[in-house]
Amino acid sequence: MAKTKIREITIIESDSTFSILKKLGLSKEEYDFEGISALRQILSNEKARILHTIKYQKPRSIYHLAKLLGRNFKPVFDDLKLLKRFGLVEFVQEKTKNRISHRPEIMVDTLTINLKI
């Protein structure tokens, strides 16, 4: 059985607002964000569609992913950068002929969000 890769994000209440904080003592793979707006952005249907397409259709490149989604390259790339910021995807460089492409790959199986009030 393959090992499950889990990303954990903790949201805490501070001065009547929510913020996403890095847990102390953990590796640099844990992320520190100023506000919760970035987390709201990754919980959109488009991001879920991107993750689903990467997982099941295994696109060869970001361009190929955009074509599979029926979207323009730039917005897909912007969405992928946000998913990369949260550690959900990574880009794997692959050289084909004279070109280098970046294949998106999912880095986690589970996203756990903890809310501390």
Residue 53 covered by a domain = yes
How many domains is the chain built from? 1
pLDDT of 34 > 60? The answer is: no
Identify the domain containing residue 47 by its residue range: 6-116
Q: How confident is the model at residue 15 (pLDDT cuts 50, 70, 90)?
A: low
Residue 18 gets the label, from left (phi > 0), alpha (psi -120 to 50) or beta, of beta
Is residue 86, in this structure, part of any structural domain at all?
A: yes
Residue 18, pLDDT > 90, answer no
Tokens of residue 9, six digits: 């994000």
CA 102 to CA 116: how far, in whole Å? 37
What is the average pLDDT across 89-116? 89
Give the position of tokens 């488009």.
46
Structural domain includes residue 95: yes
Residue 14: exposure state from Cβ atoms within 10 A (0-12, 13-18, ≥19)? exposed
Residue bearing the bigger pLDDT, 20 or 90: 90
Q: What is the pLDDT at residue 40? A: 80
pLDDT, mean of residues 22-42: 58
Asked if residue 17 belongs to a domain, the reply is: yes
Q: Is the pTM of this model over 0.85?
A: no
CATH number for the domain spanning 95: value is 1.10.10.10
Taking each helix axis from N to C end, the angle separating 62-69 and 73-85, rounded to the nearest 10 degrees, works out to: 110
Does residue 19 have a pLDDT over 70? no
Torsion over CA of 56, 94, 79 and 19, rounded to 10 degrees?
100
Residue 1 included in any domain: no
Residue 54: exposed, middle, or buried by beta-carbon count in 10 A (0-12, 13-18, 19+)? Answer: buried
